[in-house]
Amino acid sequence: MTERIGVYVCHCGTNIAGTVDVVDVANWAAEKLKHQGVVIAREYKFMCSSLGQELIEKDIKELGLTRVVVAACSPHLHEKTFRTAAKNAGLNPYLVELASIREQVSWVHSNKTIGTAKSKAVVSGAVSRVIENAALEEIKVPINPNTLVVGGGIAGIQSALEIANAGFHVYLVEREPSIGGHMSQFDKTFPTLDCSACILTPRMVEAGTHPNITLLTWSEVTNVAGYVGNFHVTIKKKARFVNEELCTGCGICQEKCPKKVIDDVYEAGLGYRKAVYTPFAQAVPNFPVMDKENCTYFIKGTCKACEKFCPTNAIDFTQQDQLINVDVGNIILATGYDLFDARRVSSYGYGRLPNVFTSIEFERLSNAAGPTSGNIVLRDGKTTPKSVGIIHCVGSRDKNFNNYCSVICCMQGLKFAHLVHERTGATVYNFYIDMRTAYKAYDEFYQRVLEEGTLFVRGKVAEVTKAARKESEKGKLIIQVEDTLAGKQRRIPVDMVILSSGLQPRADSKEVGKMFGISCSMDGWFTERHPKLDPVATMTEGVFIVGCAQGPKDIPSSVAQGAAAAARVLDKILQKEVMLEPIKASINKETCSGCRICNGLCPFNAIAYIEDDKISDINPALCQGCGTCVAACPAGAISGTGFSDAQIMAQIDGLLLRNLITA
Amino acid sequence: MNPKPKFAMYWAASCGGCEIAVLNTHEKILDVDANFDIVFWPVAMDAKYKDVEAMEDDSILLTLFNGGIRNDENERLAKLLRRKSKILVAFGSCACEGCIPGLANLSPVGDIVYTAFNTITTDNPNEIYPRTTVDVPEGELHIPTLSKVVRPLEQVVDVDYFMPGCPPESHQIAAVIDLVIDVIKGKAELPPKGSVIAVGNSTVCDECPRTRNVKMIKEFKRIQDIAPADPTLCILEQGVPCNGPATRSGCNARCPQVGAQCIGCYGPAEGVIDYGARLITAFASVIDANTPKEIEHILDGIPDPTGQVYRFNLAGSLMKATKSAWEKA
């Protein structure tokens, strides 16, 4: 049967029409691809608009189109739009093919002749391919109403609470002994200077006691299988050596433990904890964990002071790591960030010059619950600085480290300036490249800090040194900087330097991304489905990203994303079932020889080897149609619906214009 | 009595192994003689091209054509025999997919000639290169002109059946002869045109008795470097790149049975469009590595990837030849 094909070429405003002669492309398709069944070819300003869609729907009905090719943007963007339009007009949505002449043509070319010629080839490929397309039916699967939230910082807590409050169960998994994340380490939050703990801990407690939240701290996700609606997750619950059923969180074990350990996680190396500890007083849950590497009993075989004094016999030295399997329908990743390691900017002297502090160290210094009870003092623990230099953009906006802006460092630097002023009366200098205070009430805070008398120097600091050149510099840290407003080099001696370090993706973000089936940007942040219109979803259905895992952001934005992802998850849960694309792989039993090359490849564990028949088989319920096995099968015995060899070969022929009738 | 149907066999760019494989059918060759009138078989009997040209079109019932198309003489004979034959069989790997001579498609033909006549083992002080015409006292002599690339028979003329193998197994040749004889006698029907005949539909693995597991390859090695090789375990799993998984069955896994990896002479399995691409993705899929450096190290274990995965199939692959071979005369 000869197909009746409609070709629709989109201008996308000037996005496509600027580099491609769309009228020429449409006319060409109507004439040169007529023999393949093209009965109509139109161009329109915005095909995705309702008028554009109506145009297609009308043609399907009136001209009896059996196939549709839309030459427009990437299928990522509007494949669904045009498939829905086709469906509305009574055509199977899988008989629609998108030819990407925006991302793959107009945006990557500047020459209109080339752009037009290439667009014709791409359209020709899509026409040849669509002839081979098969009508497919979507598959309905039920959605498991449980949700996994990975990461118990403020963003993850927000997601978990929103979903739990709506009446659905959440597994909240946190790697550290307590939820709370970075926010629990801060003293004040900009720009309102609320006490961080005061606004965070009620949320932590709510999450810890919520009947719909299963809190798994000191735990990590080790494996994820399945797909939207039906994920199977394995979580490793690390041995705490404390029986959570019996522990009351009284703290006697911590008090009696004779082993002091420098706390370089929560206290950033400025304070001590015990070998059995909760990271901070308001920890949720308040059960301590045993640090096996430092516990005297684990090292020497004797001590057990904690066990002797525990009033409820909760200490259990025999505890083992546990693997917990949970089934969930959706996953929210709130895995946060790592702080840029200021040691890498060696010219700023962190780690070498004692009175150079990182931002997180300063947070702990200024925190009333911190190691100095909120006294801002030098590394000697007693001297109050008389002058302080705060350096912005440490590790950010710097080709040697990270190109991106870490978003929070300007406001963080201003907050530090205010706190130093308020608590010490010291002279404060802020060294900035550009001041970025673009958010509600942020610039007002900048004005306030200016009025408080903080001195601002616009310029990137070259180095921090203790090599004095004159008497007044002796015993000081000298900040060498080009003051770009004054147009001269300056040397500013101070007692204390604070490095406003940037944010970095988690060191293991790539592995974590791989485990959850999502990708990372070049920098390592998780990639959202659409940078503007879909910032919390990912290309993997049912996996969402919130907070700094997606990119640097402040607390309000993290909370907003946490809530946004929760809304997306609730939307999915309430739909009760999800439509899956009918793109599946299948194995031809006749041509499979059971070489087993595909066996270890399936990310969804859908392939099994049938020992009796000596061939491999795919479980269609588990197959996600990713195509890995289709590509790998050396015998060509595996094919994927929607991506058959016939479709792909036809598309190649079309792209190479082999389908044209030559005179 | 009707005259016996006519039989022809021709060799183009090939080594002659296919002819020997036919003779290796032993007494079966007598059946050929009993049932056919052998009209043209340069390797076995004297014949002139003009005798073939003089035959009526379609007058030869069965022609087994081995060898790829390397020069204009090959091409002329391919077209001639096509015209004169009812059934034209691309016989053996060269005719089916180019085989070893097809690897020449990696280089422009000029480079090939230059290399052949100018390596240090060649004594050619006067830099004499072959010419297609030369004047001698008796007149002008011609030798065939090399074409830019080697082409399998199908790329030059319409082919009825394909019989892969380097060379095809003798028992399969015998089976084909029997079949055609049965067809002549009205006892059997010919398979659909375009079929790959006398061989299997799956891959060498299907006929290979070795045990197969999920594969995780840390290092590729040559067969002589795995000692002692496990005689019961899949050769690929032992780190030797074995082409069996993509190669058509029918040889009864001859090489793996005796401890050598399959090199792929039976060509792509049914459903395989590009043999080399299939093998590369298959090998890449079972590499057990986490870093680009590790991957590179493992792949270094295959020093000649093209020779490994396209040894028999380059001319018949999707790419057919390198760009430089296509473009330079």
Domains of chain B: 6-98+150-184 (3.40.50.700), 204-309 (no CATH)
Which residues of chain A are within 8 Å of residue B202 when distances are taken between CB atoms?
Answer: 590-593, 635, 637
Q: Which residues have CB under 8 Å from A6's CB, separation 6+?
A: A38, A39, A40, A41, A42, A56, A59, A60, A63, A65, A67, A68, A69
Regions in chain B scoring below 50 on pLDDT: none
Whole-number Å distance between alpha carbons of A177 and A260: 18
CATH entry, A5-136+648-655, from 2.60.40, 3.30.200, 3.40.50, 3.40.630: 3.40.50
Whole-number Å distance between alpha carbons of A495 and A483: 20
φ, ψ of residue A39 to 5 degrees: the values are -105, -20
**Are the beta carbons of A179 and A570 closer than 8 angstroms?**
no
Thinking of the domain A147-238+327-336+506-575, which architecture would CATH place it in?
3-Layer(bba) Sandwich (3.50)
Instruction: Verify whether the Cβ–Cβ distance A635 to B212 is below 8 Å.
Output: no
Q: What is the ipTM of this complex?
A: 0.87
Which residues of chain B are within 8 Å of residue A632 when distances are taken between CB atoms?
Answer: 281-282, 284-285
Q: Does B316 touch chain A (CB under 8 A)?
A: no
**Helix locations, B85-241, DSSP H:** 93-97, 109-118, 170-184, 204-207
Instruction: Verify whether the Cβ–Cβ distance B269 to A633 is below 8 Å.
Output: no
CATH superfamily of A339-503: FAD/NAD(P)-binding domain (3.50.50.60)
pLDDT of amino acid B329: 57
Compare CB distances from B203 to A593, A600, A601 and report the shortest one's residue: A593
pLDDT of amino acid B226: 86
φ, ψ of residue B228 to 5 degrees: the values are -80, 135
A-proximal residues of B, 137-196, CB under 8 Å: none
- pLDDT tens digits, one per residue of A495-514: 999 999 999 999 999 999 98
Which residues of chain B are within 8 Å of residue A633 when distances are taken between CB atoms?
Answer: 278, 282
**Are the beta carbons of B164 and B97 closer than 8 angstroms?**
yes
Regions in chain A scoring below 70 on pLDDT: 1, 663
Looking up tokens 């997919």 gives B97
Q: Does B201 touch chain A (CB under 8 A)?
A: yes
- Of the residues B199, B215, B279, the best mutation for testing chain A's interface (the one with the most A CB atoms within 10 Å of its CB) is B215
pLDDT of amino acid A304: 94
- pLDDT tens digits, one per residue of B176-216: 989 999 998 999 999 999 999 989 989 999 999 999 999 99
Looking up tokens 């907003």 gives A560
Domain locations in chain A as residue ranges:
5-136+648-655, 147-238+327-336+506-575, 252-309, 339-503, 583-641
Which residues of chain A are within 8 Å of residue B276 when distances are taken between CB atoms?
Answer: none
Compare CB distances from A635 to B202, B215, B234 and report the shortest one's residue: B202
CATH entry, A583-641, from 3.30.1300.10, 3.30.70.20, 3.20.20.10, 3.40.30.10: 3.30.70.20
Which residues of chain B are within 8 Å of residue A588 when distances are taken between CB atoms?
Answer: 271
Half-sphere exposure of B229 (CA within 13 A, CB side): 23
Instruction: Verify whether the Cβ–Cβ distance B204 to A597 is below 8 Å.
Output: no
pLDDT of amino acid A663: 56
Q: Does A593 touch chain B (CB under 8 A)?
A: yes
The two domains A147-238+327-336+506-575 and A583-641 share their CATH topology (first three levels equal): no
DSSP, residue by residue, A357-405: EEHHHHHHHH-TTSTTTT----TTSSPPPSEEEEEEEESSS-TTS--S-
Name the closest residue on chain A to residue B200, using Cα atoms: A591
Q: Does A597 touch chain B (CB under 8 A)?
A: yes
Whole-number Å distance between alpha carbons of A505 and A522: 11
Compare CB distances from B215 to A592, A594, A600 and report the shortest one's residue: A600
